Structure 1
Amino acid sequence: MASSPMASSTQSPRPNLAFRRLRGQRSPGEFAAAVRRAAREIGERVCCDARYIGRVEAGEIRCPNYAYERVFLHMFPGRTLTDLGFAPRALVRGRGVRAESPSAPPVAPVPPTPPTPVPATTIHLYESHPTGSDPRACDPYAVQTHEESDVQRRAFMTGSTATVVAALGPIGLTLGGPAEAAALRGRRVGDAEARAVETAVRRIRLLDDRHGADGLYRRAAAPLRTAYALLDAGTTTRQSTSDRLHAGAGELAISVGWLAHDSGRFDDARSHYAEALATARVCGDAALEAHAFCNTAFLARDAGRPREAVRAAQAATRAARGLGSPRLLSLLALREAGGWAGLGDRAGCEQALSRAHGLFERGVRDEDPEWMTFYGPAELAGLEAQCWSALGEWARAAGHARLAATTAAAQTPQFTRNIALYTAELADDLARAGRPDEAARAGLRVLALLGEVQSSRIQSILAATARVLLPHRGVPEVNDFLEGHAGLPRAV
């Protein structure tokens, strides 16, 4: 899904005094200039200004996006994000652009305990948040790695619903059935329910980033049903709460749609994306509409409907023009490029790729949506590789796929699923470019990651690579890859 807002702007009641102390005697503008210089030193581009520094110090930005994180840790070596005064990323992985009500109490993490029967709309998240000087304190993926047992990894490999539930615990809202949903009719819905929906979105995204979609999709459908039951049955006390609930339900529909998409359930994904789009239209939410059309374009490309992919990407661009996020427009240009490549229109593809690069170079903004945390240099290179692959330029595609895989491993190692995807695409491009030994070595690296990642997309790429490499089984590396691939458990 990976399968992405870049900056988290949910308000915090407490100013970030630790960050203010680090600024020292420099003005916010001078400190912002130092941040930009540090970014250039490590090859990042951030649009940092005095306003951004002020928002950090005021506590409005609870945890920076990954680009700013790399810059800040470069500026202050030996410190963690917690030392810089930021909150754990697991608390802000949802839609940061939708600030919670200042009066709403913070969501408290729930300690790991055995699952117990819960009321119809209660949410449980079984994740801990380290504190203090632990260098993993602001890395929810490190937290997950600590929590994940061999049983949990096997749960994702087998795809057994019962085993996944046992390994993960309840990840979100649940309803027993239509009768319980009907019983909610007329009940008052408030901040607690809105936060529960938002938290379910965050948890699903974190799990997908680490594991891929296959073991998660069916389990994630339960909180989605509950979110829409709340919309249908309840009355809200404030318009802001209603807006948050609609936005959260729409984002949850997109997240579940992505899980269906990445696990090869294209019809289910199309239905979920359409549901999110309808929700966006009902509440006039341009950001949600752009996100829904963005994913629809990606799905249409994968489903062999490239012209629909172009139209959906263009519709997303129209919705996103007033949102102030060049990075979002860059991603949408890449979605359009993928559609043009699928149509065999090289000129249209190159024009869209040029726009994507130009917009990407304008850097991150406060307005970047939180779901776009995945979109950095690695994803840019990976999506461009897919375009050249669709146009049959295998060597060029392999170059971009290699860049994507190495960049992801260096900059965002927590996105295990994406690293596996880029490396699988590299293996396939190399195989089709006539470099079987290199392709097999890349394929073996993917096989090594499949103990913790399960994605039908990656499995299908590996299967295609194996078919291409079959005539080269006399090459030792190829034979090792083919034997390893043949030993993979098959989906039932």
Structure 2
Amino acid sequence: MASSAVTSSQSPRPPRPNLAFRRLRGQRSPGEFAAAVRRAAREIEERVSCDARYIGRVEAGEIRCPNYAYERVFLHMFPGRTLTDLGFSPRSSVRGRGARDTDEAPPPHTTSPAYTTGETEETYETYDTQDPYGTHENHEESDVQRRAFMTGGTATVAAASLGPFGITFGAPAADRRVHRVGTSEAGALEEAVRRIRLLDDRHGADGLYRRAAAPLRTAYELLDAGTTRQTTADRLYAGAGELAISVGWLAHDSGRFEDARSHYAEALATARMSGDPALEAHAFCNTAFLARDAGRPREAVRAAQAAQRAARPLGSPRLLSLLALREAGGWAGLADRPGCEQALVRAQTLFERGPSEADPEWMTFYGEAELEGLEAQCWSTLGDWTRAARHARRAAHLQDPHFTRNIALYTAELADDLARGGRPDEAALAGLRVLDLLGEVQSSRIQTMLAGTARVLLPHRRASGVSAFLERHASLPRIT
């Protein structure tokens, strides 16, 4: 990165590690966290070429205060916090002699490649943030994608970065030199969404999340490139938004809640920009589910209600049924049993109206098994273990064998409900069935549920079935 010259006033003391910022990164790698920073920047129309090296420098204390672009992004990512809360020093304490007054507001967006005010590299990061393609020498994105962009234009980038899912545009990358995208690119984007959903249904999210990042970056490159036909533009916006939701779900299911929240917000912004109520309903639907899992039940209720407002004109009773279940989950989290029951009745009534041509393509997972499974989760949250186990058992029995991940999920829900309901032997048998499926399914969410079940069953470890489950569970690799 470019930096201002070191001044004679620079402090010789060694940097102090930024432990607060390190805690905010949590279990994500520096590269994953850098990707989240870049996504947050796009949400507020800022450009930062953040990479793993930059995150390392911040955590090591080499950057005591970020430049204004990064400041805006960090405060957007962590609303309600100040730079000091994030472990940075006050701006006034690290300014050089050429700095402005401390009460001056941050400058507006600028395209200057190096915005400097006398701060030193050791203390204050300069405005080297304008590279949207990540060409910084230590950027974690692939060299293949960068070379493709330089030689072949936007469609070539798409061909290179959709490659992890076996999707290309038919011509060799070096032969595609186009600056406007068309129906073939839109079709490839839609196919990427379908492929990700298919792989998730069979194998779960953990092994897919990192691979899905490249197609998502490509989707927004295609939007930036533009198209001459409105119908193609509409498909690109819808495809990019659906892909953001799919990648967000992979983050959600693998326990990366902040990443998921960012992806869902990106999809919602895309829906609003393109005036797409179906995409808006989908984004709010997943936001509600995430809020429930993240312990924000009131947000779950409000997001589900917003989704229903967007979905009503679409004419899909099944979609409205699913959204009512999302609302029910929020009410359950608030311990509002009447509100939950009312939403469940509405969901059942709407479901019974049957499928419709207006049902979105992404709802193929929503059948009777999912209805039962989501209701089981509501009763479990309310502490009605017997009722929860009954619905979870139905869900596992009804699920199409194609949806391996969901069978594992419903069975894990059943095991937990049985354990908490005082039926340890049955719980252990259900838990063993889940363990049998974990060779095919990689889902941190399911493993977290099993870990909770194991803790509940510990007092019953002398029972033979329980002992077998606990021993096999203990041999699982730890969730990282």
Cα-Cα RMSD: 2.2
**Which residue does the alignment assign to 2:278?**
287
In structure 2, the partner of 1:260 is: 251
Give the match for residue 275 of structure 1: 266
- Which of 449, 454, 460 is the matching residue for 2:448? 460
1:394 equivalenced with 2:385 (yes/no): yes
Tell me which residue corresponds to 2:159. 122
Please tell me whether the aligned partners of residues 334 and 352 of structure 1 are also in contact (alpha carbons under 8 angstroms): yes
Task: Tell me which residue corresponds to 1:367.
Answer: 358
Aligned counterparts of 1:313 and 1:170: Cα–Cα separation in 2: 31
Question: CA contact under 8 A between 2:162 and 2:168: conserved in structure 1?
Answer: no
Query: How many angstroms does 1:235 deviate by?
Result: 2.3
The residue type equivalent to 1:454 in the other structure is: Q
Specify which of 421, 425, 430 is matched with residue 437 of structure 1: 425
Q: How high is the TM-score relative to the length of structure 1? A: 0.64
SS at match of 2:158: coil
The answer on 1:303 being equivalent to 2:294 is yes
Q: Kindly state the Cα deviation for residue 358 of structure 1 after the two structures are TM-superposed.
A: 0.1
Report the counterpart of residue 11 of structure 1 in structure 2. Answer: none
- Counterparts of 1:173 and 1:358, CA distance in 2: 43
- In the alignment, is the contact (CA less than 8 A) between 2:271 and 2:277 conserved in 1? yes
Q: Which residue of 2 aligns with 1:191?
A: 183
Are the aligned partners of 1:466 and 1:482 in contact in 2 as well (CA < 8 Å)? yes
Structure 1 residue 491 displacement after superposition: 3.3
Give yes or no for contact 1:337–1:353 (8 Å, CA) kept in 2.
yes
Q: Does the alignment pair 1:205 with 2:194?
A: no
In structure 2, the partner of 1:477 is 465
> Whole-Å Cα distance in 2 between the matches of residues 172 and 440 of structure 1?
42
Question: Deviations for 1:300-335, whole angstroms, at most 9, x for unmatched residues?
Answer: 000000000000000000000010100000000000
Identity of aligned residues (%): 77
Q: Which amino acid is the alignment partner of residue 474 of structure 1?
A: R
How far apart in 2 are the matches of 1:305 and 1:228?
Answer: 29
Q: Distance in 1 between matches of 2:166 and 2:269?
A: 25
Query: Gaps spanning 5+ residues in structure 2: where?
Result: 1-143, 149-155
The aligned amino acid for 2:276 is D
The 3-state SS of whatever aligns with 1:366 is coil
**Bigger relative contact order, structure 1 or 2, given CA contacts below 8 A and separation 6+?**
1
Please give the alpha-carbon distance, in whole angstroms, between the structure 2 residues aligned to 1:406 and 1:420.
11
Alpha-carbon separation, structure 2, partners of 1:258 and 1:251: 10
AA aligned to 1:407 is L
Task: Indicate whether 1:330 and 2:321 are aligned.
Answer: yes
How far residue 192 of structure 1 moved from its aligned partner, in angstroms, is 1.2
For residue 378 of structure 1, what is the aligned residue in structure 2?
Answer: 369
2:412 is aligned, of 424, 435, 444, to: 424
- For 1:78, the equivalent position in structure 2 comes to none
Deviation at 1:449, TM superposition (A): 0.2
1:77-88 to 2 correspondences below 5 Å: none
- Give the Cα separation in 2 of the matches to 1:334 and 1:230: 35
Picking from 205, 209, 214, the partner of 1:217 is 209
Matched-pair contact (CA < 8 Å) for 2:193–2:239: yes
Distance 2:434 2:309 in 1: 37
Alpha-carbon distance in structure 1 between the residues aligned to 2:464 and 2:272? 56
1:402/1:422 contact within 8 Å kept: yes
- For the residue of structure 2 that corresponds to 1:202, the secondary structure is helix
State the Cα distance separating 1:171 from its structure 2 match. 4.2
What is the rounded CA distance, in whole Å, between the counterparts of 2:168 and 2:280 in structure 1? 24
CA distance in 2, matches of 1:336, 1:438: 31
Q: Report the AA paired with residue 159 of structure 2.
A: T
Does the Cα contact within 8 Å between 1:173 and 1:200 map onto a contact in 2?
A: no
- 2:74 maps to none
> In the TM superposition, what whole-angstrom CA distance separates every residue of 1:41-99 from its partner, at most 9, and x where no partner exists?
xxxxxxxxxxxxxxxxxxxxxxxxxxxxxxxxxxxxxxxxxxxxxxxxxxxxxxxxxxx
Match of 2:36 in 1: none
Q: 1:348-363 alignment to 2 at 5 Å?
A: 348-363=339-354
User: For residue 93 of structure 2, what is the aligned residue in structure 1?
Assistant: none
Distance 2:363 2:350 in 1: 15
Q: CA shift at 1:170, angstroms? A: 4.2
Q: Secondary structure at the match of 2:157?
A: coil
Cα distance in 1, alignment partners of residues 180 and 346 from structure 2: 47
Matches within 5 A, 1:86-125: 119-122=156-159
Stretches of structure 1 lacking an aligned partner (at least 5 in a row): 1-114, 127-168, 175-179
Instruction: Give the distance between the partners of 2:263 and 2:167, measured in 1 at CA.
Output: 17
Q: Which amino acid aligns with 1:376?
A: G
Contact map agreement 2:457 2:466 (CA 8 A) in 1: yes
Superposed CA deviations along residues 255-300 of structure 1, whole A, max 9, x for unmatched, are 0000000000000000000000000000100000000000000000
Secondary structure at 1:315 match in 2: helix
Residues 433-463 of structure 1: CA distance to partner in whole angstroms, max 9, x if unpaired?
A: 0000000000000000000101011000000
Distance between the aligned counterparts of 2:338 and 2:465, measured in 1? 38
Choose which of 288, 303, 306 in structure 2 pairs with 1:312: 303
Does residue 238 of the first structure (1) align with residue 238 of the second (2)? no
Shift of 1:173: 7.0
Letter in 2 for 1:423: T
Q: Distance in 2 between matches of 1:278 and 1:201?
A: 18
Separation of aligned partners in 2, 1:444 and 1:377: 24
Q: TM-score, normalised by structure 2?
A: 0.65
Report SS of the residue matched to 2:205.
Answer: coil
- Count of residue correspondences: 324
SS in 2 for 1:121: helix
Q: Report the Cα distance in structure 2 between the residues aligned to 1:446 and 1:170, rounded to whole angstroms.
A: 27
Q: Give me the whole-angstrom Cα distance separating, in 1, the residues matched to 2:240 and 2:161.
A: 17
Q: Is the contact between residue 330 and residue 360 of structure 1 (CA under 8 Å) also seen in structure 2?
A: yes
2:334 maps to: 343
Describe the superposition over 1:181-225 as per-residue Cα deviations: whole angstroms up to 9, x where unpaired.
xx99x9111111111111110110000000000000011011000
Give me the whole-angstrom Cα distance separating, in 2, the residues matched to 1:445 and 1:242. 46
Q: Is the 8 A contact 2:386 2:417 kept in 1?
A: yes
Cα–Cα, structure 1 residues 364 and 281, in superposed 2: closer, same or farther, change >3 Å? same
